[in-house]
Amino acid sequence: MPDIESIIQQMTLEEKAALCTGEGPWTTTPIPRLGVPRLVVSDGPHGVRHPMDVNQIGSLSHPATCFPTASSLACTWDVDLLREMGEALAEECNALGVGVLLGPGNNMKRTPLCGRNFEYFSEDPYLGGELAASLIEGLQSGGVGASLKHFAFNNQEYQRFSISAEVDERARREIYLAGFEKAVKQGKPWTVMCAYNKLGGTYCSEHHWLLVDLLKEEWGFEGLVVSDWGAVHDRVASLQGGLDLEMPGPRPKRVQAVIQAVQDGVLDEAVLDEAVRRILKIVYKAAETPKGEPFDQEAHHAMARKIAAEGMVLLKNDGVLPLRKGLGRIAVIGRAAKSPHYQGGGSSHINPTMVAIPFDELQQQAGDAELLYAEGYPADDAFRQDLIDEAVRLAQDAQVALLYIALPAYKESEGYDRADLDLTAQQIALIKAVGDVQPNTVVILNNGSAVTMGEWINHVNAVLEAWMMGQAGGGAIADVLFGKVNPSGKLAETFPVKLPDTPAYLNYPGENGKVLYGEGLFIGYRYYEAKQIPVQFPFGYGGSYTTFAYSNATVSATSFRDTDGLTVSVDVTNTGAVAGKEVVQVYVHDHKSALVRPHKELKGFAKVELQPGETKTVTIPLDFRAFAYYHPGYGQWIAEDGEFDILIGASSADIRCTQTVTLQSTQVLPSLLNRESTIRDWMEDPRGKVVFGPMFQQIAAGMKQAMGGDMDGSEMIGIDMMTMLMDMTVLSILYFQEGALPAPPEQVVDGLLQQVAQLQ
Ligand code: BGC
């Protein structure tokens, strides 16, 4: 790495301004005079979309492995696997000459309607953060930078270029930013990509709090912030807001505006220098990795197949799966069996090195069984009864029916949201018709986000969620259907019963340019649990061909200090007849908190592989943050004294063991009492109680006397006076006694507050 400071000193203002905007759609601006190379970036996230012509934004890309998309990856709950995939992506980037891969995406799945959910991991920030961090670590270990995106609050595609997300501070911190925070602190991505949308009225590309105060200063992000493609509106404002690199280029007028702003004294050159410094660091870091070594296409295809299988979730199985060998005739129904739907539309679209055709893969593993094929549904929205009739005839004539159902590509893509959560009318009718004539009917789904199933699920015997499974997914489906791979995927997002049940339903998609995140902290399972709304399949759920028993749950300490955290252990036994993998999930439930908290939250997990009869002890650490929540009053994460349940389970709705522990807080927090604090606030605050307690006794006594000794007041005015009193501010009580006070009520309260401050 050359001496960056000396390069900056030699750069002209023009060169600095030029460096902060791309040279072309996929390259930064080189400075040959000073030997500064160009950096090549490519989409991302689940493959390398490196254009054959880097000067064109929409050029056909070089062949690269199309790995499964993020919704599939997340269901593996396997951080090691994601690290491996990151390493493979780095090899491909290096082969193709790419220095930074534009991914992973780690926006939370606020609504299943978001067209881009297939590119995101989860509705849970802990899970998303862990997975993103691992992928980044793997990628960057190969000398290729990640670009964690889209920072932040890009939780819908509807009006993504302009809409303002209105999100309260706790939901920001605990839900939408927490996954980014983990990925930034742990994964240390070289770059972070800002989102198109606004947050609280300010474009993310100009958002100083988001990009500087939080990301760079509080979280210690040392890389560069790049704009999403075309997210910059005002280049000078964006530099001041912490956006280092604008993409795509060229944008000569904007470069000129930056030069002008420095010359006019509107933009401090130190701000420009800081952006230049961050860009140069990454440009040179990327240049350190040798390029051009070809990658092993077959090996990566095999890896993509393994990952795809690990991400598949067995949602229903009455015993029909795994399929027996020598089945006689298998009716393979559905276009997706021959034209697989394995990735989504938009910037992440990969030109695959090869594609496994599900039908052919099935054939390879089906032994002597005869495979029959019917299209089942057309490529478009048309309703074709003839296709259904043909499929039914085939199914009647077979021992089992496999329905390959892919949500049509046009329904789910970058750039727009879904209109509903349903399969097409044709697909629903097809599934019901086939399921009704064939007692061994299996549905295999390809989609990027939750779909509703209420209309058809009772007509079929098994459902395998195969997601947008990447180029090798066709083989992975066959592996799972025939039991070569025992499914172990667990849902990283809840499958609701119906759209109106979903958390953001009343606040989506927003109006007048704003979308209010009115459900606050309560997205995904946090919402369904709080509202006691039944779901089709809960977060963390997924079936297997074996069964697992949980026993001997223990904690390292039943009473612990917040700073020490603790570890949870549990024995997991494979109680079935085949080897399998279980994802052990640890949720934390706070018995009592000053502010509202979700009933339980995921704070740890581990995936364990077990042979039949085998038992392994799984140990999961829980740190301060596992117990903490963000308190806007204190402006920090706090973990309060008291009891917590540690819930160990096979899904969010299937808790197998519970341990109760007591946390002792070591935090010294200032009092939040102020002039508007209620009597309850004063009496519940340890220091407030000491200071205000004696006065409270007097007030209560005075009140009792005024009520003729009847404190519940029911005879006089029919209310419980004491309860009412507790919700009054001290100030408002003192107003009633103003005449008898030695000083104005405000001064009396301020005096009390001073006494509290002295106790701290
Ligand atoms: C997408 C990004 C992508 C970029 C470059 C944008 O439209 O939102 O995710 O990396 O284009 O293709």
Cα–Cα–Cα angle for 664, 669, 674, rounded to 5 degrees: 135
Whether residues 327 and 460 fall in one domain: yes
**pLDDT classification of 484: cutoffs 50, 70, 90:** very high
**pLDDT classification of 710: cutoffs 50, 70, 90:** low
Q: Could you read off the pLDDT of 459-477 as tens digits, one per residue? A: 999 999 999 999 999 999 9
- Please tell me if the CB atom of residue 347 comes closer than 6 angstroms to any atom of ligand 1: yes
- Please tell me if the CB atom of residue 44 comes closer than 6 angstroms to any atom of ligand 1: yes
3-state SS assignment for residue 203: strand
- Please tell me if the CB atom of residue 149 comes closer than 6 angstroms to any atom of ligand 1: yes
Give the model's pLDDT for residue 715.
57
3-state SS assignment for residue 464: strand
Which residues are within 8 A (CB) of 754 and not within 5 positions of it... i.e. 6 or more apart? none
Separation of 74 CA from ligand 1 center, angstroms?
A: 21
Joined tokens for residue 213: 């105060």
Which residues are within 8 A (CB) of 705 and not within 5 positions of it... i.e. 6 or more apart? none
Q: Which residue is closest in CA terms to ligand 1's atom 4? A: 229
Q: Which residue is closest in CA terms to ligand 1's atom 12? A: 347
Between CA 4 and CA 7 the distance in angstroms is 5
CATH classification at residue 404: 3.40.50.1700
Whether residues 233 and 369 fall in one domain: no
Q: Which of 48, 49, 56, 102 to mutate to test the pocket of ligand 1 (most atoms within 8 A of CB)?
A: 102
User: What is the pairing mode between strands 636-638 and 629-631?
Assistant: antiparallel
Q: Could you read off the pLDDT of 259-298 as tens digits, one per residue? A: 999 999 999 999 999 999 999 999 999 999 999 999 999 9
Separation of 161 CA from ligand 1 center, angstroms?
A: 12
Whether residues 206 and 319 fall in one domain: no
Whether residues 217 and 339 fall in one domain: no
Q: Could you read off the pLDDT of 219-239 as tens digits, one per residue? A: 999 999 999 999 999 999 999
564 lies in a domain?
A: yes
Which residues are within 8 A (CB) of 596 and not within 5 positions of it... i.e. 6 or more apart? 521
- On the CB side of 442, how many CA atoms lie within 13 Å of its CA? 27
User: What is the pairing mode between strands 462-465 and 313-317?
Assistant: antiparallel
Last residue of a domain, one of 482, 506, 537: 537
Cα radius of gyration (the chain): 29
User: What is the pairing mode between strands 145-151 and 191-194?
Assistant: parallel
In this prediction, residues 334-338 reach a mean pLDDT of 98
646 lies in a domain?
A: yes
649 lies in a domain?
A: yes
Between CA 588 and CA 147 the distance in angstroms is 31
In this prediction, residues 125-140 reach a mean pLDDT of 98
Q: Distance from CA of residue 297 to its chain's centroid? A: 30
Whether residues 521 and 566 fall in one domain: no
Whether residues 479 and 370 fall in one domain: yes
CATH classification at residue 195: 3.20.20.300
- Please tell me if the CB atom of residue 228 comes closer than 6 angstroms to any atom of ligand 1: yes
Q: At what angle do helices 686-706 and 745-759 cross, to 10 degrees?
A: 150
Q: Which residue is closest in CA terms to ligand 1's atom 3? A: 347
User: How large a percentage of the chain has pLDDT more than 90?
Assistant: 93
Ligand 1 atom nearest 160 alpha carbon: 8
Please choose, from the candidates 539, 512, 517, the residue with its C-alpha nearest in 3D space to the C-alpha of residue 528.
539
Q: How many helices (H) and strands (E) does the chain have?
A: 23, 27
Give the model's pLDDT for residue 463.
98
Q: Which residue is closest in CA terms to ligand 1's atom 8? A: 228
Over 80: is that where the pLDDT of 45 sits?
yes
Q: Could you read off the pLDDT of 388-408 as tens digits, one per residue? A: 999 999 999 999 999 999 999
Ligand 1 atom nearest 57 alpha carbon: 12
- Please tell me if the CB atom of residue 212 comes closer than 6 angstroms to any atom of ligand 1: no
Give the model's pLDDT for residue 713.
54
Over 90: is that where the pLDDT of 741 sits?
no
- The residues annotated with a catalytic role in the active site are 228
Between CA 661 and CA 656 the distance in angstroms is 17
232 lies in a domain?
A: yes
- Please tell me if the CB atom of residue 229 comes closer than 6 angstroms to any atom of ligand 1: yes
- Please tell me if the CB atom of residue 102 comes closer than 6 angstroms to any atom of ligand 1: yes
Q: Which residue is closest in CA terms to ligand 1's atom 7? A: 229
The two most distant CA atoms of the chain are separated, in Å, by 99
Q: Which residue is closest in CA terms to ligand 1's atom 9? A: 347
Ligand 1 atom nearest 43 alpha carbon: 10
Separation of 346 CA from ligand 1 center, angstroms?
A: 8
263 lies in a domain?
A: no
Give the model's pLDDT for residue 708.
72
Whether residues 368 and 517 fall in one domain: yes
Between CA 33 and CA 601 the distance in angstroms is 54
Please choose, from the candidates 348, 243, 286, the residue with its C-alpha nearest in 3D space to the C-alpha of residue 145.
286
Total domains in the chain come to 4
Ligand 1 atom nearest 149 alpha carbon: 9
Cβ(482)–Cβ(323) below 8 Å = yes
Using a 10 angstrom Cβ sphere, with 0-12 exposed, 13-18 middle and 19 or more buried, the burial of residue 568 is buried
Whether residues 586 and 660 fall in one domain: yes
721 lies in a domain?
A: yes
In this prediction, residues 206-214 reach a mean pLDDT of 98
Q: Could you read off the pLDDT of 26-41 as tens digits, one per residue? A: 999 999 999 999 999 9
Give the model's pLDDT for residue 714.
54
Separation of 314 CA from ligand 1 center, angstroms?
A: 32
**pLDDT classification of 324: cutoffs 50, 70, 90:** confident
Ligand 1 atom nearest 150 alpha carbon: 9
Separation of 738 CA from ligand 1 center, angstroms?
A: 64
Whether residues 96 and 173 fall in one domain: yes
Distances (CA, A) of 320 to 400, 441, 454, 462, 464: 9, 8, 20, 7, 12
Separation of 209 CA from ligand 1 center, angstroms?
A: 23
CATH classification at residue 571: 2.60.40.10
Last residue of a domain, one of 488, 509, 537: 537
Q: Could you read off the pLDDT of 145-193 as tens digits, one per residue? A: 999 999 999 999 999 999 999 999 999 999 999 999 999 999 999 999 9
Separation of 245 CA from ligand 1 center, angstroms?
A: 14
Please choose, from the candidates 85, 69, 191, the residue with its C-alpha nearest in 3D space to the C-alpha of residue 141.
85
Last residue of a domain, one of 604, 634, 664: 664
Over 90: is that where the pLDDT of 700 sits?
no
- On the CB side of 483, how many CA atoms lie within 13 Å of its CA? 13
Cβ(486)–Cβ(546) below 8 Å = yes
Please choose, from the candidates 659, 532, 523, 515, the residue with its C-alpha nearest in 3D space to the C-alpha of residue 586.
659
Per the prediction, the chain carries an average pLDDT of: 96
Q: Which of 155, 196, 229, 416 to mutate to test the pocket of ligand 1 (most atoms within 8 A of CB)?
A: 229
Which residues are within 8 A (CB) of 213 and not within 5 positions of it... i.e. 6 or more apart? none
Over 80: is that where the pLDDT of 498 sits?
yes
- Please tell me if the CB atom of residue 45 comes closer than 6 angstroms to any atom of ligand 1: no
Separation of 509 CA from ligand 1 center, angstroms?
A: 21
Q: Which residue is closest in CA terms to ligand 1's atom 5? A: 229
Q: Which of 43, 204, 350 to mutate to test the pocket of ligand 1 (most atoms within 8 A of CB)?
A: 43
Domain span including residue 660:
548-664
Give the model's pLDDT for residue 711.
62
530 lies in a domain?
A: yes
In this prediction, residues 671-697 reach a mean pLDDT of 95
Whether residues 481 and 362 fall in one domain: yes
3-state SS assignment for residue 284: helix
Whether residues 581 and 461 fall in one domain: no
Give the model's pLDDT for residue 341.
97
Q: Distance from CA of residue 25 to its chain's centroid? A: 28
291 lies in a domain?
A: no
Q: Could you read off the pLDDT of 572-597 as tens digits, one per residue? A: 999 999 999 999 999 999 999 999 99
Q: Could you read off the pLDDT of 422-449 as tens digits, one per residue? A: 999 999 999 999 999 999 999 999 999 9
Whether residues 575 and 612 fall in one domain: yes
